């Protein structure tokens, strides 16, 4: 993997060459029948491999240096995993703790990919996954000093952005020019969306506060690395600074997105794109999510008041203004204007109760003002967190805030443990040993699963249960190779990784390897892009949920990247690194 933090130029060149060789292994190759986390294990971690289609009853661990068997174990009974249609067995070796480099051997099968047991398996991947945000900066020169061969000119300064007629007000009529620089490109496209930025920044801020030891001292080798703020904070600020410009200063409402009228540049670099860009509509979901996120940011960044004088208070004031706009406009759902055809992040049909609850929880945590506890109502059923499903975020904040009234705090914790214990049952009953069901294979399935892991880890902070950590580890194992495709779903991280992601820069830069550190969306049976992909040679090999994936740039439904998906992986890796 690339280590762009504090390395010398010769090391950069050698590391890049090794990565290039690593990535030339195409994701379309037949998966190894022995699937395991390609980043290996720590001595104290749980250790499990999935063995597909074997009659063997046992397995061996082979030391690569000596070629000798150093461990023998019994395989579990075979079981069917409905998500892939495979009959598999588990090889568990938690008690094997010797540092080294190994293969797993099952008698009639090809040996596994090599893996290590050491104490640093996630340290470099964590850096790579965070640095993906730097590569996705809007309005910045991505310099060779920091990016190597992925350097590119500045693009989309967004200092001239037009107010779209859907966002027009008397104070800012259609065509008004505003400045809205910085921010991250949201996904594979070159646009920026507030709803998705909300949960992305919120997840990163949560990781910082809850796993500070893993994040605050990281050296990311970004332009701000020489200042007196942690690099991780600097990267988050690049997007928060943009988010602040998306609030109408006249009424406090949030523009839903900043975008061109159509998706542009699928095979063109961003600095070649000069189409006009617009702020489009205001929405209640964007404003409430923003209120929650900025309230959270105000508490987290208060620690850096000396470096950022007045910034924390500015964020809290902005959060309150967004809340006030939402009170006046409680159900404004984003509707795509006739001349706009970019990402919608629409909430039509949603009652927004979860967004209201999220904003209340964070504003109360930031202010202690009991007005935000009025009409608190918890949902009957909790969903895995996503950009439009945020009730569990609110419940965790209520449950972890000692100032929350005891009845609300206890009820929130009960709701959380009820759902996380349900996920434990899913993991125990799974042939793959992971808390993943066929229903989890939705658009962005990898992030969906990681958000399960995050909630398991967060609830573990409130009510410790080793099984929560075990299942969170298993989900991360799945992401890095313990899956039916036998691949790591993170570009450049692992031995068998995505090569042709739906990410415009990676598709257009002429470099064989995609930018490292991006989590792809992952398999899901909707195959919404099949008609688009088939003429380009992107063919889905299966309709099974866990196999429905194409390693092709056409596949926005399985192989795109987004900032919120990466945020979930940042949290999980930080938690398991600390």
What is the average pLDDT across 172-195? Answer: 98
User: Do the Cβ atoms of 540 and 548 come closer than 8 Å?
Assistant: yes
Backbone φ and ψ of 150, nearest 5°: -90, 10
Structure tokens at 565: 């998906």
Catalytic residue among 86, 158, 189, 513: 189
Same-domain check for residues 116 and 151: no
What is the average pLDDT across 145-157? Answer: 98
What is the number of other CB atoms lying within 10 angstroms of the CB of residue 483? 29
User: Which residues pair with residue 354 across a beta bridge?
Assistant: none
Same-domain check for residues 102 and 167: no
Same-domain check for residues 408 and 260: yes
Indicate if the pLDDT at residue 7 is higher than 90.
no
Catalytic residue among 86, 128, 513, 551: 551
- Determine if residue 67 is left, alpha or beta; phi over 0 gives left, psi from -120 to 50 gives alpha, anything else beta: left
Same-domain check for residues 63 and 155: no
> For 500-509, how does the pLDDT look when each residue is reduced to its tens digit (9 = 90+)?
999 999 999 9
Rounded to two decimals, the pTM is 0.95
Catalytic residue among 354, 386, 388, 560: 560
Give the range among 14-18, 335-339, 434-438 with minimum mean pLDDT.
14-18
Same-domain check for residues 130 and 111: no
What is the average pLDDT across 91-112? Answer: 97
Domain end (from 121, 153, 184): 121
Judge whether 537 lies within some domain. no
Same-domain check for residues 182 and 115: no
Give the residue, 21 or 489, on which the prediction is more confident: 489
User: Domain span at residue 47?
Assistant: 34-121
Closest CA to 202 of 404, 397, 453: 397
Catalytic residue among 156, 164, 470, 502: 502
Give the end-to-end CA distance of the chain in Å, rounded to a whole number: 20
Backbone φ and ψ of 154, nearest 5°: -65, 150
Binning pLDDT at 50, 70 and 90, where does residue 31 land? confident
What is the average pLDDT across 455-463? Answer: 98
Judge whether 409 lies within some domain. yes
> For 155-167, how does the pLDDT look when each residue is reduced to its tens digit (9 = 90+)?
999 999 999 999 9
Indicate if the pLDDT at residue 11 is higher than 70.
no
Same-domain check for residues 67 and 164: no
Distance CA 362, CA 245 (A): 21
Place of tokens 């860009």: 277
Distance CA 489, CA 477 (A): 11
From residue 238, give the alpha-carbon distance in Å to each of 212, 527, 571.
19, 34, 18
Average pLDDT across the chain, whole number: 94
Domain count, the chain: 2
Indicate if the pLDDT at residue 15 is higher than 60.
no
pLDDT score of 246? 99
Distance CA 166, CA 336 (A): 9
Distance CA 323, CA 329 (A): 10
Judge whether 545 lies within some domain. no
Indicate if the pLDDT at residue 208 is higher than 70.
yes
Indicate if 560 belongs to the active site.
yes
Same-domain check for residues 104 and 140: no
Indicate if the pLDDT at residue 30 is higher than 90.
no
Binning pLDDT at 50, 70 and 90, where does residue 1 land? very low
From residue 439, give the alpha-carbon distance in Å to each of 278, 523, 540, 555.
37, 12, 19, 20
Indicate if the pLDDT at residue 481 is higher than 50.
yes
Same-domain check for residues 297 and 216: yes
Helix (H) or strand (E) holding 35: strand 34-35
Indicate if 551 belongs to the active site.
yes
pLDDT score of 29? 57
Domain end (from 121, 150, 165): 121
Judge whether 488 lies within some domain. no
Closest CA to 25 of 491, 564, 533: 491
pLDDT score of 14? 31
> For 545-571, how does the pLDDT look when each residue is reduced to its tens digit (9 = 90+)?
999 999 999 999 999 999 999 999 999
Same-domain check for residues 83 and 135: no
What is the average pLDDT across 4-21? Answer: 34
What percent of the chain clears pLDDT 70, i.e. is strictly above it? 95
> For 63-79, how does the pLDDT look when each residue is reduced to its tens digit (9 = 90+)?
999 999 999 999 999 99
Pairing outcome for strands 161-163 and 278-282: parallel
What percent of the chain clears pLDDT 90, i.e. is strictly above it? 94
Indicate if the pLDDT at residue 10 is higher than 70.
no
What is the average pLDDT across 486-505? Answer: 98
pLDDT score of 8? 31
């Amino acid at each position: 993997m690339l280590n762009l933090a504090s390395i010398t130029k010769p090391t950069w060149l050698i590391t890049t060459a090794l990565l290039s060789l690593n990535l030339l292994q195409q994701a379309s190759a037949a998966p190894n029948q022995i699937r395991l986390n390609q980043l290996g294990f720590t001595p104290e971690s749980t250790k499990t491999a999935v063995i597909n289609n074997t009659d063997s009853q046992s397995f061996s661990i082979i030391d690569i240096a000596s070629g000798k068997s150093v461990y023998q174990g019994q395989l579990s009974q075979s079981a069917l995993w409905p998500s892939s249609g495979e009959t598999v067995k588990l090889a568990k070796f938690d008690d094997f703790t010797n540092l080294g480099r190994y293969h797993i051997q099952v008698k009639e099968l090809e040996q596994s990919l090599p893996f290590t047991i050491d104490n640093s398996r996630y340290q470099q991947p964590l850096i790579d996954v965070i640095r993906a945000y730097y590569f996705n900066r809007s309005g910045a020169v991505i310099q060779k000093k920091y990016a190597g061969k992925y350097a590119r000119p500045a693009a989309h300064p967004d200092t001239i952005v037009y107010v779209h007629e859907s966002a027009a007000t008397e104070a800012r009529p259609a065509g008004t020019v505003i400045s809205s620089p910085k921010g991250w490109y949201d996904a594979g496209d070159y646009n920026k969306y507030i709803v998705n930025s909300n949960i992305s920044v919120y997840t990163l801020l949560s990781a910082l506060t809850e796993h500070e030891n893993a994040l605050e001292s990281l050296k990311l080798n970004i332009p701000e690395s020489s200042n007196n703020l942690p690099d991780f904070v600097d990267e988050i600020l690049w997007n928060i600074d943009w988010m602040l410009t998306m609030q109408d200063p006249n009424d406090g409402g949030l523009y839903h997105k900043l975008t061109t009228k159509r998706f542009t540049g699928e095979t063109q670099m961003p600095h070649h794109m000069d189409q006009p860009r617009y702020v489009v509509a205001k929405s209640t979901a964007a404003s409430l999510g923003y209120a929650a996120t900025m309230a959270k940011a105000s508490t987290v960044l208060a620690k850096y008041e000396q470096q950022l004088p007045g910034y924390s208070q500015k964020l809290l004031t902005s959060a309150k203004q967004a809340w006030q706009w939402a009170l006046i406009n409680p159900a404004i759902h984003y509707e795509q204007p006739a001349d706009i055809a970019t990402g919608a992040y629409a909430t039509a049909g949603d009652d927004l109760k979860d967004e209201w609850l999220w904003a209340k929880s964070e504003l109360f945590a930031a202010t202690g003002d009991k007005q935000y506890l009025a009409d608190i109502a918890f949902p009957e059923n909790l969903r895995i967190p996503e950009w439009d499903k945020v009730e569990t975020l609110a419940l965790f904040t209520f449950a972890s805030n000692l100032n929350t009234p005891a009845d609300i705090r206890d009820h929130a914790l009960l709701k959380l443990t009820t759902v996380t214990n349900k996920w434990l049952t899913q993991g125990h009953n799974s042939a793959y040993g992971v808390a993943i069901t066929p229903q989890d294979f939705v658009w962005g399935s990898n992030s969906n699963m990681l958000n399960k892991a995050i909630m398991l880890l967060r609830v573990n902070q409130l009510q410790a249960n080793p099984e929560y950590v075990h299942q969170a580890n298993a989900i991360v194992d799945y992401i890095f190779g313990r899956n039916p495709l036998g691949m790591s779903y993170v570009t450049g991280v692992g031995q068998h990784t995505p090569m042709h992601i739906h990410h415009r820069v990676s598709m257009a830069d002429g470099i064989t390897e995609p930018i490292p550190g991006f989590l792809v969306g992952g398999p899901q049976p909707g195959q919404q892009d099949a008609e688009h992909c088939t003429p380009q040679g992107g063919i889905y090999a299966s309709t099974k949920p866990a196999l429905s994936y194409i390693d092709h740039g056409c596949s926005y439904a399985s192989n795109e990247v987004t900032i919120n998906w990466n945020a979930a992986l940042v949290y999980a890796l930080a938690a398991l690194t600390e």
